[in-house]
Structure 1
Amino acid sequence: MPGLMAEIVQNDNKHKNILVLCFLCLGVYVYLYGNVSVNLEKIEHIQRSALRQLSHVLHRREDGNDTATASRRSEWKGASALQEWDASRRLLTVFTSWSKSGTTALLRNNTALNWRKLWPCLHPVLFTNDTELARNVQKHGWDSLPILHTEVNMPVLKHMYLTAMKLYRSPLYAFVNGDILFTQSLVETLMKILQSELYNRSAVLVVGRRTNLLNVTRMLATNEVVLTREAIKRGELFTPWGIDYFITSRSFPWGDMPDMVIGRIAYDNFLVVEANKRNVTTIDATKTVLAVHQTMTKGSEYKSHSQPHNSDFNLKLLAKIYKKINYAAGTTNGACYFTKYDNKSEVSIVRR
């Protein structure tokens, strides 16, 4: 069988479609007629591994015949990052953390299903010490990792990044609040950033505003066409002060960051201020990345501002270290660049 697949790939490009169809048919056959005692998670794992290898084989052939693609990729930073992206197609290791008390089962499942639909470009990870939550996301193809560093019973942000960078290889890493949903617009924007000279020149921090949307069902979370339509129709763009995703390159100085925790105010605006001070390339992706916030009830969009326990932990921590911080310079508007769609409906990056 391996020899046959190799022979097919060496033939005309039209055979690629046949190979992909054969793979999909095989997956359906295994699902429908395979031994019912076989664990479905194992079947999915086999399919994922096979698809990764198939993607790698086809992609290598495309690289050999497309000089434009090869030329474009030669501008990327670091051969190792490029090789890793070629092999797995993973653009982003994305992680979050949630608790049963702070979220609903519907919200958590919506996020798990939504992020999983962007595989293999996104590799989702949940930081949790709850075995039930870990099992639930693993059923959806996520990884789970224990929370090892906490303050005021909340995960320390920088250690989430440092752990993810140690265990996973990808050009970009991101903490995202666990109630945020994405579409393919995220993948398109990240690919543009990775192909830009900005990614070559320095560390990168990508942020953006979210769109609050009430009554997000499972169908909405898993159908990006309908999700986009509903977000345009009845969604509300949130303030530039509130940032829910932080996409960084591996070279971002996370080791130098204070022990700020997630779920409390100030860390988001501080990161933009500090990144600009350290000459990190900061990019506001609001205009090209749809980030939908699953708003449960009116007013819940300001949840982190109303936490009764140590809500000002980050503020006090940062005040001790930096004395005075201009948080107003740390909104999404404080990013030095922003993305937009040009007249060809392609993502472009513009200096503010």
Structure 2
Amino acid sequence: MLTLFTMPKPFRGYIGTIQRNAIKSWTLLRPECEVILFGDEEGVAEAARELNVKHVPSVERNSYGTPLLDDMFEQAEKIASNDLMCFVNCDIILMDDFMAALERVNGVKRRFLMCGRRWNVDIMEPYDFSEGWEGRMREFVKATGKLVPPNSIDFFVYPRGLWGNVPAFAIGRPRYDNWMIYIALDRGAMVIDATSAVMSVHQNHDYSHVPQGKNNSWEGPEAEANKDLYGREKPLYSLMDASYALTESSLRRAVSVTSVKHMVQKFFHHKFIFKG
């Protein structure tokens, strides 16, 4: 039904632990999903063998050694066994509500992009995935987790062929997520905010993996290059611009920032025509 793919960081210390936690959760999704790990960073091949998932070592990189989004997406679409794809960050734990949401959205039979806000939690140890693990995880998230703003998105579910030409964004730097929402809307796809239906769990970490960053991945030359690729003058699209909202009971049109802007523009256009 679904192919999930990701670009892990090197499997060192607690970063390796939280990445194994995330990938393990994906292998437990039902119906069973295909999982592809990209890159030749330290420990990726070993983790792929350990967790019995696919591994693609070669991905084009920029001058800083950071893998590029366009090559990874192109390779993923060529080798995926399924027409539904999910690019997901390698620190995100997914549970059965994710697949339930996808089945409901896929039944609409329209092109779509399904995303959702994440819950931030502190998990530094290997998680216990024995029977009842999802219930324990939900209680932990409710007790300690923090729901992030609409501009923090870590999973993108879409049908193969949605994007067209993907810019050569550096992965893990800003703006590629904004671009994905923008281009999906521009191509007439349903952009679905599934936050209310999907509890995606982000395991907190630092940004020491960003060699040129100033504090985190949102600063530095790679971030600036991504901003140029996106377009400096273009509005920053986020889940506030989603055209639909998925809840546990319904899929409904959303009152988004984009729709409000269009209504305002239409109002002033009609007002101008009327006065003329």
Q: Give TM class, smaller chain.
A: 0.7 to 0.9
Q: CA deviation at 1:108?
A: 2.1
Deviation digits for residues 199-253 of structure 1 (CA, Å, limit 9, x no counterpart): x23x221111000001354235661111111111110001111111111111302
In structure 2, list runs of 5 or more residues that go unmatched: 210-214, 255-276
Cα separation, partners in 2 of 1:335 and 1:188, compared to 1, 3 Å: same
2:172 matched residue in structure 1: 263
Distance between the aligned counterparts of 2:74 and 2:179, measured in 1? 18
* Contact residue 264 and residue 312 of structure 1 kept, 8 A: no
TM-score by length of structure 1 reads 0.64
Distance between the aligned counterparts of 1:245 and 1:293, measured in 2? 11
1:250 matched residue in structure 2: 160
Deviation digits for residues 62-81 of structure 1 (CA, Å, limit 9, x no counterpart): xxxxxxxxxxxxxxxxxxxx
1:232 matched residue in structure 2: 142
RMSD: 2.4
Bigger-Rg structure (1/2) = 1
2:116 matched residue in structure 1: 208
* Contact residue 3 and residue 82 of structure 2 kept, 8 A: yes
Q: CA deviation at 1:285?
A: 0.8
Amino acid at match of 1:118: L
2:100 matched residue in structure 1: 188
* Contact residue 15 and residue 205 of structure 2 kept, 8 A: no
Q: How does 1:99-248 map to 2 (within 5 A)?
A: 99-100=9-10, 104-118=15-29, 120-130=31-41, 132-151=43-62, 152-196=64-108, 200-201=109-110, 203-215=111-123, 217-219=125-127, 223-248=133-158
Q: How does 1:1-352 map to 2 (within 5 A)?
A: 91-100=1-10, 104-118=15-29, 120-130=31-41, 132-151=43-62, 152-196=64-108, 200-201=109-110, 203-215=111-123, 217-219=125-127, 223-253=133-163, 255-296=164-205, 303-306=216-219, 308=220, 310-319=222-231, 324-327=233-236, 330-342=237-249, 348-352=250-254
Amino acid at match of 1:304: S
* Contact residue 95 and residue 124 of structure 1 kept, 8 A: yes
Runs of 4+ in structure 1 over 4 Å off = none
Q: CA deviation at 1:271?
A: 1.4
More helix as a share of residues:
1
Amino acid at match of 1:268: D
Distance between the aligned counterparts of 2:42 and 2:222, measured in 1? 26
Q: CA deviation at 1:312?
A: 2.2
* Contact residue 220 and residue 227 of structure 1 kept, 8 A: no
Q: How many residues align?
A: 244
TM-score by length of structure 2 reads 0.80
Q: CA deviation at 1:131?
A: 6.5
Distance between the aligned counterparts of 2:71 and 2:86, measured in 1? 12
* Contact residue 207 and residue 243 of structure 1 kept, 8 A: yes
Q: CA deviation at 1:297?
A: 6.5
Amino acid at match of 1:209: R
Distance between the aligned counterparts of 1:204 and 1:123, measured in 2? 20
Q: Secondary structure at the match of 1:233?
A: helix
Distance between the aligned counterparts of 1:158 and 1:164, measured in 2? 10
* Contact residue 213 and residue 235 of structure 1 kept, 8 A: yes
1:81 matched residue in structure 2: none
Q: CA deviation at 1:158?
A: 2.9
Amino acid at match of 1:277: D
Deviation digits for residues 148-199 of structure 1 (CA, Å, limit 9, x no counterpart): 3222422222322221221122131111111110110101001111112xxx
